[in-house]
Amino acid sequence: MTFQYQRLADQLAQKIYQHELQPQQKLSSLREFARQHKVSLSTAQQCYELLEAKGLIYAKAKSGYFVSSRQYQSPMPESPSFESMPRQVSNLDLQNQIQTASIQSHLTPLGAIQLSPHLIPVDGLRRSLQRALKHCQPEDFLYCNKQGHQQLRQALSDHWREDGIYVASEDIFISNGCMPALSLLIQQLSKEGDSILIPTPTFNGQLQMLASMKRKIIEIPADHRGIDLERLEFFMQQGSAKLCLLTANFQNPLGYCLSNTQKQQIAKLAQQYQCFILEDDIYGECSFQNERPLPIRYWDQQGYVIWCGSVSKSLSTAYRVGWFCLGPQLDDLRPQLLANNVGVNTPLQLGLADFIYSRGYREHLDRLRPQLMQQVEQYRACILETFKGIPIALSQSQGGYALWIQLPDTITGLELYYLAQEQGINIVPGEVFGEDQRYQHFLRLNAGHALTDEIRQAIQQLADWVRNSLN
């Protein structure tokens, strides 16, 4: 349960993270804050005390409350301007090479975005799997319903309801992860040669998938504030694409979280222009705040938003269970989706259902969120300290654990990638997050592992190479 003071603290924290409230800026007095938000004085005080405990604000005697100066500030990465047009993904070979390298376990893990095993509740998952196997029915050892086990679908529906997201169990389809769900939906909603609207830069795995499926892309500019909604509407209105693939909450690699107003606007555009939205919400439960941000689907009234996700980023990349949720617009596609959906391991489904109903998953998320926030801040501090004196820009989001770095114009991420590989370090160069090499001076790092001495040394090696190259 999230209390009123926690919700207000989350809203203020978001404004601080997004630089809407600047360091040393004075906040409203407690009485004024209570009046503005129509809460009691004690609620206002609890809100400020929580922010103070997090180090985001501080009290000055007889003067009030002020936004703290954060020790490690940096410019936000820029997003180059470009013209949007239908086109092929041109660097599939490089995409495949980098995707293969990103999951090599013998390399220092700064590549693939995944949680450290130390953040995964292994014992709780083991107990849930054991209980699920102990109490399963004889029919659970036969072929499972291709829509997914009713027990897991109901567990997910009940779990989301606690966050204010209402999806009936009969509208949930269980899949072998989020990417298989997206792939299945794209195949059913488009054909080879069709164009898909995507924000850019975007997750390289999605570009790799679209290229392998022979779909074209229309790139829509995005930055740390979100997506260019005017350009998105232009292409929807033109009818250039009937399908849009995007992430609203803690997008990889930029880390932005769209405001509720922006999400509502996208849902409205989808309905107005009958353009389906595939919403990849895989990081939605990785917020640094107590309250989970709502998906675009929350504002979808006619079924044009298909909400997809999995537990791979919030629980474990090895736990291959995902889902997609249909609305009334796609009722006629249910037979095809059922026929082509690959059945998911039944014990895994039942184990996850038990983990949700035993409150293990909710308790895990409550522990994970502050741990992630602290860990990502440690990475940011380490990067800015080791790159001190080098003109870089570094992302700062309110959730997820991808870090997007803009390097000096004379340094290319791809060259740094090859040098890092030689030293046993895995990173992902920005070149694979969009077309035209427009992100060749960027790179993405994973902050999902604890900041060990090995990882600190790897970041130091990257900084030393950049510094030597500049000199």
Q: Alpha helices, DSSP H only, in 18-110?
A: 30-37, 41-53, 92-102
The side-by-side arrangement of strands in the sheet containing 393-394 is: 393-394, 402-406, 442-446, 428-429
Q: pLDDT band at 70, cuts 50/70/90? A: low
Q: Which segments of 61-112 are extended strands (E)? A: 64-67, 108-109
Both tokens assigned to 221: 């500019």
CATH number at residue 413: 3.90.1150.10
Cα(354)–Cα(361) distance, integer angstroms: 9
Specify the DSSP class assigned to residue 58. E
Same domain, 331 and 393: no
Residue pLDDT, tens place only, 182-202: 999 999 999 999 999 999 999
CB 24 within 8 A of CB 64: no
CATH number at residue 9: 1.10.10.10
Judge whether 25 lies within some domain.
yes
CB 402 within 8 A of CB 77: no
Same domain, 180 and 271: yes
Same domain, 209 and 315: yes
Judge whether 31 lies within some domain.
yes
Q: Is the dihedral of CA 260, 266, 270, 271 positive or negative?
A: positive
Same domain, 324 and 405: no
DSSP string, 383-451: HHHHTTTS--EE---SBSSEEEEEPPTT--HHHHHHHHHHTTEE-EEGGGGSSTTTTTTEEEEE--S--
Residue pLDDT, tens place only, 81-96: 999 999 999 888 888 8
Same domain, 135 and 222: yes
* Torsional class of 8: left (φ above 0), alpha (ψ -120 to 50), beta (otherwise): alpha
pLDDT mean over 66-90: 85
pLDDT mean over 431-458: 95
pLDDT, residue 2, reads 65
Q: pLDDT band at 18, cuts 50/70/90? A: low
Sequence-ordered list of residues with C-beta below 8 angstroms from that of 434, at least 6 positions apart, any chain: 200, 201, 202, 207, 219
Last residue of a domain, one of 361, 390, 408: 361
Specify the DSSP class assigned to residue 310. E
Judge whether 107 lies within some domain.
no
Judge whether 80 lies within some domain.
no
Cα(306)–Cα(324) distance, integer angstroms: 7
Same domain, 277 and 399: no
Cα(351)–Cα(455) distance, integer angstroms: 33
Same domain, 251 and 395: no
pLDDT, residue 71, reads 57
Same domain, 298 and 447: no
pLDDT, residue 1, reads 57
Residue pLDDT, tens place only, 108-159: 999 999 999 999 999 999 999 999 999 888 888 878 888 999 999 999 999 9
pLDDT at 340 over 60: yes
CATH number at residue 225: 3.40.640.10
Q: Which domain holds residue 12?
A: 4-67
Number of domains forming the structure of the chain: 3
Same domain, 316 and 378: no
Judge whether 85 lies within some domain.
no
pLDDT at 104 over 60: yes
For 376, the 3-state DSSP assignment is: helix
pLDDT at 449 over 60: yes
The side-by-side arrangement of strands in the sheet containing 195-200 is: 172-175, 322-325, 305-310, 276-280, 243-246, 195-200, 216-223, 226-227
Cα(24)–Cα(40) distance, integer angstroms: 26
Same domain, 166 and 237: yes
Same domain, 303 and 180: yes
Q: Is the dihedral of CA 88, 89, 90, 92 positive or negative?
A: negative
CB 65 within 8 A of CB 26: yes
Both tokens assigned to 368: 């994970």
- What average pLDDT does the chain have? 92
Question: Which of the residue ranges 23-37, 244-258, 349-363 would you say has the lowest mean pLDDT?
Answer: 23-37
Predicted TM-score of the model (pTM): 0.86
CB 252 within 8 A of CB 243: no
What CA dihedral angle connects 409, 415, 421 and 425, to 10 degrees? 0
Judge whether 111 lies within some domain.
no
Judge whether 465 lies within some domain.
yes
Same domain, 187 and 326: yes
CB 409 within 8 A of CB 441: yes
Residue pLDDT, tens place only, 218-242: 999 999 989 999 999 999 999 989 8
Q: Which residue has the higher pLDDT, 72 or 164?
A: 164
Question: Which of the residue ranges 8-17, 326-335, 423-432 would you say has the lowest mean pLDDT?
Answer: 8-17
Last residue of a domain, one of 332, 361, 390: 361
DSSP H or E stretch at residue 85: none
Cα(38)–Cα(172) distance, integer angstroms: 38
Scored b (16 or more CB within 10 A) or e, 395-430 reads: bbbbbbbbbbbbbeeebbbbebbebbbeeebbbbbb
Q: What percent of the chain has pLDDT over 70?
A: 98
Judge whether 72 lies within some domain.
no
Q: Which of 365, 304, 377, 276 has the alpha carbon at shortest distance from 54? A: 377
